[in-house]
Amino acid sequence: MVPCRASDQFLNAEACAKSGTGLALEPGEASVESIRAAVKRSLTEDVFRQAARRVSADISAMPSPADVAEILAR
């Protein structure tokens, strides 16, 4: 669950929602009840866990920072 307040949080929230790894709450939507519901969904609905595994695999397949630095140094 990514609350949107300022700066890049809106982009991060949109990316999480788009990838299926989380839920975004706009500033006017954030209340105790909506936050509670979003957290409950993210912990109980398997779709979020599956999406997180997909994103984790994608990140694991990326080159390491050291590998990138070596490529850039060439």
In single-letter form, the type of residue at position 13 comes to A
- Residue 53: closest CA among 17, 20, 18, 4: 20
Q: Quote the CA–CA distance of 66 and 14 in Å, as a whole number.
A: 29
Q: Quote the CA–CA distance of 24 and 45 in Å, as a whole number.
A: 15
Which CATH code is given to the segment(s) 2-73?
3.40.50.2000
CB 4 within 8 A of CB 25: yes
pLDDT tier at 4 (50, 70, 90 boundaries)? Answer: low
Domain ranges of the chain: 2-73
Size of the chain in residues:
74
- The per-residue pLDDT for range 43-74, each reduced to its tens digit, is 999 999 999 999 999 999 999 999 999 999 98
